Structure 1
Amino acid sequence: MDTSVLIVDDQTMVRQSFHAVLAAQPDLVVVGEAGTGADAVTACARLRPDVVLMDVRMPVMDGVEATARILAAADAGDVRVLMLTTFDADEYVYGALRAGASGFLLKDAPLEDLVTAVRVVAAGNSLFAPTVTRRLIAEFASRRPPSVDTRRADRLTPQEHKVLRLVARGLSNREIADALVIVEQTAKTHVSRVLAKLDVRDRAQAVVAAYEMGVVVPGE
């Protein structure tokens, strides 16, 4: 089944470039474009894309606010947002994570990386550009004191706490399995349970939750 994509960027040439690359893929369909965050919210409600390729900085409404509104909508469904940013130290990144973005990609990344990123996010996985790493999340998390929401943290078993810490380190299911000496399917089940108990959409938000609850300490 084809993946539908909505492209959101305030620069027409950027939208056209991304449109051409994505539309050329046999499994991707570009269903629309938007030039502002406000237009993105309206277009998303009308077109119901699988993936929204969202620029971070735009006039009228930035990408973070647009992402939050799109994902908070009652009819949001399984839409995923892939954020585009110009700098790996962009101050919008942490806010986008909290809003529910599933991944980040630098605008100057190779176009083939863009195609791969859309597919990865569409499959329900989180994606971070190589330079937008756990270090960046930790940097922004350190500016906000942990919420110390013990009720939320107490939902997790000791094993799930370990899994969450490994997720926050950026480990894959296979790497988590190796670290805990369990089979990969069991690691996958643990990760799914962690996401469900924390009421987060994906690994990206789980990382944010880990820092905010104090389960992971920035810089450790």
Structure 2
Amino acid sequence: MIRVLLADDEALVRTGLRLLLQTAPDITVVAEADDGRAAVEACVRLTPDVVLMDVQMPGLDGVGAARELSALPAPPRILMLTTFDAETYLLPALRAGAHGFLLKDAQPGQVLDAVRNTAAGLHALAPEAVNHLVARAAAEPPPTVPPRLPSLTPREREVLVAIADGLSNAQIGRRLSLRVPTVKAHVSRIMEKLHCESRVQAGLLAMRAGLRGEASPTDQV
């Protein structure tokens, strides 16, 4: 069962999301919060699997809350939800540790799929968010290898490529014939070596360095 915490300052939005999530047999809402500070405090008490959180809230906003949640000993997966311009909030949210980004006009099925994918360790990005990342990457100078990448072992580079491909730990294990605990250990070392706070950040770093092309077609899951 995927345990979800809802965080939004609008009670009507929280109610709608709760009713939607309750239609799924594999998802349960464990708590609601009306601002970022309440969301962080509830996560410390309840340790949900996924936090579905608005970007703009009074007091501590969604980006600030994501930053604090990512620093917890057992951080939840964070799925940001907003009606505001994706381009304005996308990169700050991802840099703060968010694992997904949806607009509030997403279809019900998209929201449910995003919660499931986020809980499974995948990245859930709205099409508008993906388009923005692609456009931003196309407008930037040709990528250069960041100075920290050479510190990775060959196996860690393979795991990083798989992270950039959006694979979960289990999928990475199948691709590289590794046990999941071994994959988790590699991911932890990669995050430490690259000074990344989330898998999204590590994946973006790999894409900027052009590492996704290192995966052979037969490696795809």
Instruction: Calculate the TM-score normalised by the size of structure 1.
Output: 0.74
Name the amino acid aligned to 2:40: V
Identity %: 43
Indicate conservation of the 8 Å contact 1:124/1:202, yes or no. Answer: no
1:112 maps to which residue? 109
The CA deviation at 1:42 is 1.1
SS in 1 for 2:60: coil
Structure 2 gaps, min length 5: 211-221
Name the amino acid aligned to 1:18: L
SS in 1 for 2:16: helix
What CA distance in whole angstroms lies between the structure 2 residues aligned with 1:23 and 1:184?
34
2:213 maps to which residue? none
Indicate conservation of the 8 Å contact 2:191/2:198, yes or no. Answer: no
Cα separation, partners in 2 of 1:30 and 1:89, compared to 1, 3 Å: closer
Indicate conservation of the 8 Å contact 1:38/1:60, yes or no. Answer: yes
Name the amino acid aligned to 2:200: A
2:141 is equivalent to residue 124 of structure 1 = no
1:97 to 90, 94, 98: 94
Indicate conservation of the 8 Å contact 1:5/1:31, yes or no. Answer: yes
Q: Select the structure that is richer in helix.
A: 2
Indicate conservation of the 8 Å contact 1:10/1:58, yes or no. Answer: yes
2:175 to 180, 184, 203: 184
SS in 2 for 1:154: helix
* Deviation sequence 1:149-203 (CA, Å, 0-9, x none): 51x21223568658756865x5769xxx9xxxxx8345999x8746642334654
2:39 is equivalent to residue 43 of structure 1 = no
Which runs of structure 2 are paired with 1:1-220 in the superposition (5 Å)?
2-73=1-72, 75=73, 77-87=74-84, 89-133=86-130, 135-136=132-133, 139=136, 150=147, 152-157=148-153, 164=160, 168=164, 184-185=175-176, 193=186, 196-199=189-192, 200=196, 203-210=199-206, 215-216=209-210
What CA distance in whole angstroms lies between the structure 1 residues aligned with 2:91 and 2:135?
9
Indicate conservation of the 8 Å contact 1:3/1:50, yes or no. Answer: yes
Q: Kindly tell me the number of residue pairs found equivalent between the two proteins.
A: 201
Name the amino acid aligned to 1:99: A
Cα separation, partners in 2 of 1:70 and 1:153, compared to 1, 3 Å: same
SS in 2 for 1:81: strand
Name the amino acid aligned to 2:15: Q
The CA deviation at 1:131 is 1.7
* Deviation sequence 1:19-40 (CA, Å, 0-9, x none): 0111222111101111111111
Name the amino acid aligned to 2:107: P
The CA deviation at 1:69 is 0.5
Structure 1 gaps, min length 5: 178-182
The CA deviation at 1:91 is 1.5
